[in-house]
Amino acid sequence: MTERVRGVRRWGAPLVAAVAAATVTMVVSPTLGASATAPSPAAKAAKSAKNVIFINGDGMAAAHREAARLNLAGLDGQLTMDKLAASGQLTTSPHDPKAVITDSAAAATAWATGEKTYNGAISVDVDGNPLATLGQQAKAAGKATGLVTTAQVTDASPAAFFASTANRSAQDEIARQYIDVSKPDVILGGGEDWWLPKGTPGAFPDQPAEDPAEGSVGTKGNLVAKAEKAGYTYVTDAKQLGKAKGGKLLGLFGNEEMFQQRPEGQGDVYSPVVDLPTMTTKALDTLHGNKKGFFLFVEEEGVDEFAHNNNGTRVLQAMAQLDRTVAIARAYVATHPDTLLVVTGDHECGGLTVEEATDAADESGTGVSAEDGPFAIQGSDKQFVMDWTTSGHTGADVPVTADGPLSEQFSGKHPNTYVHQVLSRILAPRH
């Protein structure tokens, strides 16, 4: 609750107003049979909207949200992300000749461009041709833009909104495109290794004890120096981030991801140098002054990475930070009703189910089919277990919840490309 109060005060509105506004459910439905010359309610909402906050729980589907709900809010409670006015589902399949299950790159490309593509592609079509992205369109419309993630800032999901490359592994090229081409105003997350040439460590030393494989690997020169020359303030810890004022902001808070993704008890660490709620609050502080509005992409990567390792304890930690972040965004929407907030996941990871903790006859065994837990249910003496069926992604639908103008458009079931269809009504330049 403390984070939410601070965020609301920073944006110049009393907490009472934020809470009151947050309780209002706005439902707008297109009117059947409306005059062809009269704007629909959805068109009016799009015209009045200026800002978009798009939040990705990477790897998060219904079971991840349910496990977090039980652990954080209890049997009768709700996560903040589940309190948003509208809800629906998204399908996630890619257009890949070798796969039917998406990776993060193809899924984020569907969001960012409205086109499906092959796994590993960053906003290029199936033939490798670059596609227009929402981040670039928002910038062309005069809006401020930003990305916040606990992954590398050049990882697949944020990259799809601000870069185009045939291979998601070209993270130094993605960083170069950020500075030279798409120019997001705020870039906050991990991945310093990709911004510096091999043999040139920065704030985070090469070959750290927690992961000796990490180290600077860039091939595009010193992109941190290039960013500073382009007017970005560069920060590497929470204190520096707090002192940064206005203008363009680049914050890199780790060699790679902002955590160590391993199975439980095998060197797994979830303790970001700067947590996701803090980065998001700073991004909103920096972006919200733009008179034409802003687009902010926010991602919690830990859900996916720890689900790959079937690590329920760390998944729940990452989910807690994600929901705190959604609360900050929701408070912003409450005092800025021209803002659309969308919360979803790019795909499911782990084949997760939530089960009784007392079922000794369950069919699960060892390895990737093992039960994880038990975990406490908030406010109860009961427990649950998280049962994994794979260490990879699955084709399960992902929930989507939304608030603000056009949020009602997310009710029902849609392909993931539908995200672009809705967001572009706010972000794309208007002629």
Provide CATH code, domain 2-14+44-356+390-426: 3.40.720.10
Q: What is the pLDDT of residue 361?
A: 62
- Considering the entire predicted model, what is its pTM? 0.90
157 is in an annotated binding site: yes
Amino acid at site 332: Y
288 is in an annotated binding site: no
What is the separation of C-alpha 98 from the centre of its chain, rounded to a whole number of angstroms?
Answer: 26
Cβ-Cβ contacts under 8 Å for 266 (sequence gap 6 or more): none
304 is in an annotated binding site: yes
346 is in an annotated binding site: yes
96 is in an annotated binding site: no
Report the catalytic residues. 104
- pLDDT tens figures, 141-199: 999 999 999 999 999 999 999 999 999 999 999 999 999 999 999 999 999 999 999 99
Q: What is the pLDDT of residue 262?
A: 85
- pLDDT tens figures, 383-399: 999 999 999 999 999 99
Long-range contacts of 214-222 (CB under 8 A, 24+ apart): 214/255, 214/256, 215/255, 216/192, 217/172, 217/193, 218/172, 218/175, 218/193, 218/194, 219/172, 220/172, 220/173, 220/175, 220/176, 221/197, 222/195, 222/196, 222/197
Q: What is the pLDDT of residue 301?
A: 97
Q: State how far the Cα of 413 lies from the Cα of 396, in Å rounded to an integer.
A: 12
Residue 260 carries which DSSP code? B
Supply 98's token pair.
């070798």
Cβ atoms of 190 and 255 closer than 8 Å: yes
- pLDDT tens figures, 127-136: 999 999 999 9
Angle between helices 2-10 and 276-287 (to 10 degrees): 10
